[in-house]
Structure 1
Amino acid sequence: MRAHVTRLLLVSVWIVCTGAADWCYQTQVTCDSQCKGPDSWHELNGDCKKNRQSPINIVTRKTILDHKLTPFIFSGYQEAFSSTMKNNGHTVTATVPQSFTVRGGNLESTYKAVQFHFHWGVNGSAGSEHTIDGEQYPMEMHIVHMKEEFDSLKNALMVKHGVAVLGFFYEKSNSANSKYGKLIEALTKLESTDATTMLSGLSLSNLLPSEENMTNYYRYEGSLTTPNCTEGVVWTVFEHPIPLSNEQLVAFTSLKFKDGKPMIKTFRPVQPNHGYPVYRSGCTVILLSYTVLLACACSALGLSRLY
């Protein structure tokens, strides 16, 4: 009996001292920290060490042209809505009405929006999760969707391809992006963990690249980029970045992790893709702009990064 009690005490002490149920980003890992950084996430959930993990480095010369990757059809994206934004201790998230949907683009179903969130670096430096030919952008936004027949993201993640994520890069601009004014201002109210604020008059389409710049994208099957690292997620990563000024990018670093440390470098390092295919979209629609037409031609030839 005494040995059994001793084992229970040891287990209890181990849980308290190691913070075994908590994960964090690398910038939070110190000699006296109790959280698990990205290299140790698999100790919390074995899925984090499977073979189709995200994010990845997309090597454009190895991507496969797929003419089935046609333009998406968005519903509700142009409508203004009110959103609850929250600092959840790892990033900032914003709710989206589930009446907003996306289909097309060779998705196997209609997917309804759930939320969007961001991953960033420090003071406008490298911070995206996915990289293109080794290039890491300052920030990346993920709009998370689930198949319309599901009532929760948890249930959707239990089914392969139950979740589809749209990923968008950001680039540093000399001028501020006025369409992001309200969102950037809201960040000032979200410094501490669990802080929330209401944001009204927001439109998803205003946050995204122009329509003609939404035809070039990459597609692969991967996972969530945070624990539980569930696989079977359909990823779409758009090529054209969204411009933000350095001041707007820096605004995200005013937030704090739940341990009180500055919320910086909130990205998981790229994971090996083990030779799984990554597809790129083809230009199968008639485009009136000569510039856009040329961009599509370059993309089809695998030259889009040089254009």
Structure 2
Amino acid sequence: MPAEAPVTGATGATGATLPLQRSIPDTAPLSREPVQVELPANALVKGGNLSVPYKAVELHFHWGKDGGPGSEHTIDGEQFQMEMHIVHIKEEYNSLSQALGDSAGVAALGFFFQESATSNKHYDAIVTALQDITRPSTNTTLSAVSLSMLIPPLGNMTGYFRYHGSLTTPNCAEAIVWTLFDTPILLSRRQLAAFSKLRFSNGMQMERTYRPVQPLNERKVFYSGGHVALASAVLLTASVLISSQWRDS
């Protein structure tokens, strides 16, 4: 397994090579994204120093056990409860597999989740839908749910980390421009724990679905410093989620 992504970031470390600050035993079922939401291709991401516009493909989540730590990236050694990736490909490509042949063919936006004392009503539809996809190869439809409900307000998306790395799932292709926002999304413990109630086909609880933190291998991690907003956020908020499905590992 290539040791490029995810990496540990440190606040304010613009252009700095950062040390590995946390490692996790490589024992989790990590071969595929367990909960995946298909997105319409008219959701675009551009700006924020991305070289070209990218179109949305899907979003998925990584989590821990019963609402415990489960993010794939860490900041200053802190692992968050969950992490969401919104995956995009260059407009010229027709599929994710095609885009992975380009060293910058995929742009992934990452969002951290943190536990809150109260529930986040914007995630009620997704948490409720999990009850309909408790087994592999099942799917359900989400209605009246938009990306603007799932991500932080635009004004809270000016601080982000950027680095070039790989997929965090096999085949770990070196083709991802990562953007990781440092403002976490808040969910209650009950909402966070709902994800690990899903099960694999062998009946085992679906938990700790994250790849262990990897060495940087001389990569540079850049921080926006809160000065440049990712222009894509405006376009992302106009998108409507169509369906949700997850596959066995």
TM-score relative to the length of structure 1: 0.67
Deviations 1:36-72 (A, max 9, x none): xxxxxxxxxxxx32x5x2111113354339xxxxxxx
The unaligned stretches of length 5 or more in structure 2 are 17-30, 230-249
Contact 2:161 2:181 in 1 (8 A): yes
Equivalent residue for 2:110?
Answer: 167
Cα distance in structure 1, aligned partners of 2:139 and 2:228: 42
Question: Is 1:281–2:224 an aligned residue pair?
Answer: yes
Question: Is 1:113–2:63 an aligned residue pair?
Answer: no
Contact 2:12 2:225 in 1 (8 A): no
Contact 1:63 1:280 in 2 (8 A): yes
| Alignment RMSD | 1.7
Aligned with 1:221: secondary structure? strand
Cα distance in structure 2, aligned partners of 1:123 and 1:116: 21
Equivalent residue for 2:26?
Answer: none
Distance 1:208 1:62, change over 3 A: same
Equivalent residue for 1:6?
Answer: none
Cα distance in structure 1, aligned partners of 2:32 and 2:98: 23
Deviations 1:282-304 (A, max 9, x none): 34469xxxxxxxxxxxxxxxxxx
Contact 1:121 1:265 in 2 (8 A): yes
Cα distance in structure 2, aligned partners of 1:210 and 1:104: 17
Offset of residue 204 of structure 1: 0.5
Q: How many residues end up aligned between the 2 structures?
A: 215
Offset of residue 132 of structure 1: 0.4
Equivalent residue for 1:127?
Answer: 70
Contact 2:32 2:169 in 1 (8 A): no
Contact 1:89 1:193 in 2 (8 A): no
The unaligned stretches of length 5 or more in structure 1 are 1-47, 66-87, 287-307
Equivalent residue for 1:85?
Answer: none
Higher relative contact order (CA 8 A, sep 6+): 2
Distance 1:238 1:285, change over 3 A: closer
Equivalent residue for 1:268?
Answer: 211
Q: Percent identity?
A: 49
Q: Which amino acid aligns with 1:178?
A: K
Equivalent residue for 2:6?
Answer: 55
Distance 1:269 1:56, change over 3 A: same
Question: Is 1:181–2:124 an aligned residue pair?
Answer: yes
